[in-house]
Chains A and B, each alone.
Chain A
């Protein structure tokens, strides 16, 4: 995995819950591509299309609150997203993201410097997030070495596999 990630961003508000990310009626789906097709359908039915050109979500606080459904993480990961940056995350969502290898980064300020469609850069080791269009940089939590290893291997699932 790269230490620096770049891509166009999609910006969302606080409390984007799992019913927004993957509504309950779709939980019978099993295939990753089917789940990805309904990603964010609670708020934006064009998301799967947008995800082809945008690779970073920037959100407010409590992103992924709600259910334990890891369909929510799968939906985002398999729609091609590289990372989600939020002011805070729902606990189970965060855990599921780590398990499945969807990069999740906590930043208090990133939400304030981006608009939809702008280009972002994430420097994982330095804990910096930059709006490349406006050239503004803010801090993020630094990913611990331990967590970075987890991501690098594709999530906890790969580590479980090796054990």
Chain B
């Protein structure tokens, strides 16, 4: 069996599972985000009165944080009252993006199953955990019963070997994968990332791969945990846990491989995540807004490379740069290391941790005709505001260099260090 199958089998309390099986499996962490006031309605609708395992349920407020409208304020008010009443975890507007704060809080460890009203729950694969996005009904059911049904997914292996050039980041790798394999390659399936490039990546970089697995259609993702994971979990997770492993005879549904030695910065052009080109091949047009942040591009290493590129420089007078650290912990660390100062002095607008304008809720919504280059994860039409705006996905380094020039720019010439990222 694959490690993912072993996790499903264990949580379903059965000996073996295989792809296509439907199982009822225990959920270790059930997460609702602030967009889903509807979960409360479904909870009631399903006859829920009590939460089976309150310690396994968390509400996170990162999208409409702080509330931009009366309706969202009212939704959050109801959800807070629900959280207080039932004694579940509440990560309020002062914490950060959903999965980032849950990982930092030690609520996720290898071998667990998490569901969330957040499609980017696939990010948890970086910790060797199964994370899946669901809707309000599943979420409410899981709060009541502590388990839901799953279809055990086929598993695809994507092997990534090689060493990244300076200024080329995990984001470029996953965009390249998207461009090659397309956004429906892994529908209903799980993705495991392997290979030397993945092993050499920081945990934050691996999170980028797993985060965007959902853009390939995946149900969940997985990277075999190593020392980097154990170090991160360190003092955050005090309980013991077992790291599942894949049997040597396991047969993947599909296998793909990518060599990244010669990879150059990638860009996903409007309006699809798999509409990917080498940065240098994209026609240069004026960029109105740049965004560094969110669950994809707002971690410390993202802010570090942006600060390195922008320190002592000024952003283009006709371009805005919005920087949103993924969590309070990252904000504090970036402040301590001087990154925030460097970014603000260069002309960045630094906001509170959260999802920012990524899905068009507030904090940098786009007008018709505007162009935005973003380190976030989706460039769908209308994602960040007007359907007539254009979104280009790129790495945080590319976004930072672009903010300086006001047109899409390769970050290579702007890095002071020549270390490989």
Contacts and interface: CB of A to CB of B under 8 A. Distances in A.
Contacts of B195: none
B72 A68 contact: no
A23 B382 contact: yes
B71 A29 contact: yes
B75 interface: yes
B51 to A, nearest CB: 15
Interface string A28-65: 11100000000000110000000000000000011001
B266 interface: no
B135 interface: yes
- Of A23, A28, A66, most B-chain CB atoms within 10 Å: A28
A25 B364 CA distance: 12
Contact of A28 (B71, B141, B380): B71
Contacts of A96: 134-135, 137-138
Interface residues of B, number: 50
B42 interface: yes
Contacts of A95: 134-135, 138
A96 B117 CA distance: 11
Given A30-B75, A69-B135, A19 B272 contact: no
Interface in B374-418: 378, 380-383, 385, 387
B184 A88 contact: yes
From A17, A20, A27, name the one whose CB has the most chain B CB atoms within 10 angstroms: A27
Contacts of B72: 28
Contacts of B54: none
A99 interface: yes
Interface string A58-102: 000110011111110110000000000000111110111001100
User: Which label, helix, strand, loop or mixed, suits the secondary structure of the B interface?
Assistant: loop
Contact of A89 (B46, B135, B187, B361): B187
Contact of B183 (A42, A43, A62, A163): A62
B381 A20 contact: yes
Given A62-B184, A161-B47, A70 B378 contact: no
Interface stretch (A107-115, A125-133, A135-143, A152-160): A152-160
A108 B71 CA distance: 41
B45 interface: yes
Contacts of A157: 42, 45-46, 137
Contacts of A160: 46, 137, 140-141, 144-145
B36 to A, nearest CB: 8
Contacts of A17: 378, 380
A92 B381 contact: no
B35 interface: yes
Interface of B: 35, 37-38, 41-42, 45-47, 63-64, 69, 71-72, 75, 116-119, 121, 133-138, 140-141, 144-145, 149, 183-184, 187-188, 215, 217-219, 272, 359-361, 365, 378, 380-383, 385, 387
Interface of A: 15, 17-20, 23-25, 27-30, 42-43, 61-62, 65-71, 73-74, 88-92, 94-96, 99-100, 155-157, 160-161, 163
25 contacts: A15-B184, A17-B378, A19-B360, A19-B383, A23-B360, A28-B64, A28-B71, A42-B381, A61-B184, A62-B217, A68-B133, A69-B35, A70-B117, A70-B135, A70-B137, A88-B187, A91-B187, A91-B188, A92-B134, A92-B135, A156-B141, A157-B42, A160-B46, A160-B140, A163-B145
Given A15-B184, A92-B135, 4 more contacts: A18-B380, A19-B383, A70-B117, A157-B46
Instruction: Kindly list the 9 A-B residue pairs having the minimum CB-CB distance in the complex, ordered from nearest.
Output: A70-B135, A24-B359, A68-B133, A96-B135, A99-B137, A24-B360, A19-B380, A62-B184, A42-B382
